[in-house]
Amino acid sequence: MRKSAEAKDRSPKGISRRKFLGASALTTGAAVFGFPAIVRGQNLNDKLNIAMIGVGGRGAGNLGGVQSENITVVCDVNAKNLDKIAQHFSKARAERDFRKVYDHADEFDAVVVSTCEHTHAFATLPALQLGKHVYCEKPLTHGIWEARIIREAAEKAGVATQMGTQIHAEKNYRRVVELIQSGAIGSVSEVHVWVSRAWGWQSEEDAKKGKDIVFVQDRPAEEDPIPEELDWDLWLGPAPARPYNDVYFPGPKWYRWWDFGSGTMSDLGSHWIDLPFWALDLDYPLSIEAFGPPPHPELAPASMHVTYEYAARGERGPLKLTWYQGFDKPQIHTDGGIPQWSDGILFIGDKGMLLSDYGKHVLLPENEFKGFKAPKPTIPDSIGHHAEWVHACKTGAPTTCPFSYSGLLTEANHLGNIAYRLNKKLEWDHENLRCPNAPEADALIRREYRAPWKLV
Is residue 444 within 8 Å of residue 47, measured between CB atoms?
Answer: no
Q: What is the predicted pLDDT for the residue at 50?
A: 98
> Mean pLDDT across the stretch 192-216?
75
How much is the pLDDT for 16? 38
Which residues, 6 or more positions from 226, have their beta carbon under 8 angstroms from its beta carbon?
A: 232, 244
What average pLDDT does the segment 256-269 reach?
95
Instruction: Report the percent of the chain where pLDDT is more than 90.
Output: 82
Q: Over 90: is that where the pLDDT of 311 sits? A: yes
Confidence of residue 202 (pLDDT cuts 50, 70, 90): confident
Considering only residues 453 and 10, tell me which one the structure prediction assigns the higher pLDDT: 453
- Classify domain 17-169+381-400 by CATH number: 3.40.50.720
- Asked whether the beta carbons of 410 and 139 are under 8 A apart, the reply is yes
Q: What is the mean pLDDT of the chain?
A: 89
Cβ 403 vs Cβ 140: under 8 Å: yes
pLDDT in tens, 117-145: 999 999 999 999 999 999 999 999 999 99
- Whole-model pTM: value is 0.90
Which secondary structure element, helix H or strand E, spans residue 189, and what is its range? Answer: strand 188-195
pLDDT in the model for residue 251: 82
- For 33-43, write each residue's pLDDT tens digit: 222 232 233 56
- Indicate the pLDDT class of residue 45, thresholds 50, 70 and 90: confident
- Based on C-alpha coordinates, what's the Rg of the chain? 22
Q: Please enumerate in sequence order all residues whose Cβ is within 8 A of that of 51, keeping only pairs 6 or more positions apart, or say none.
A: 72, 73, 74, 75, 101, 107, 108, 110, 111, 112, 132
Percent of the chain past pLDDT 70, that is, above it, reads: 87
Is 25 or 405 the better-scoring residue by pLDDT?
Answer: 405
What does the pLDDT look like over 150-186, one tens digit per residue?
999 999 999 999 999 999 999 999 999 999 999 999 9
Distance in Å from the first CA to the final CA of the chain: 26
User: How much is the average pLDDT of 105-112?
Assistant: 97
- What CATH number matches the domain at 171-377+412-445, 3.40.50.300, 3.40.50.720, 3.30.360.10, 3.40.50.1820? 3.30.360.10
According to the model, what pLDDT value does residue 219 have? 87
CA 195 → CA 198, 201, 303, 407, distances in Å? 9, 16, 10, 22
Q: Which residues partner with 308 through β-bridges?
A: 288, 321
Which stretch of 132-146, 251-265, 319-333, 404-418 has the lowest confidence by average pLDDT? 251-265
Could you tell me the residue ranges of all domains in the chain?
A: 17-169+381-400, 171-377+412-445
Chain-centre distance for alpha carbon 192: 19
Is the model's pLDDT at 384 over the cut of 50?
yes
Average pLDDT over residues 396-411: 97
For 205-253, what is each residue's pLDDT tens digit? 766 665 555 555 678 888 999 999 999 999 999 999 999 999 999 888 8
Higher pLDDT, 270 or 210: 270
Measured CA to CA in angstroms, residue 246 lies from 227, 253, 291 at distances of: 9, 9, 30
| 3-state secondary structure at position 392 | helix
7-21, 258-272, 351-365: least confident range: 7-21
H/E stretch holding 418: helix 403-422
Contact 433, 144 (CB under 8 A): yes
Residue 365: asked if its preceding bond is cis (omega within 30°), the reply is yes
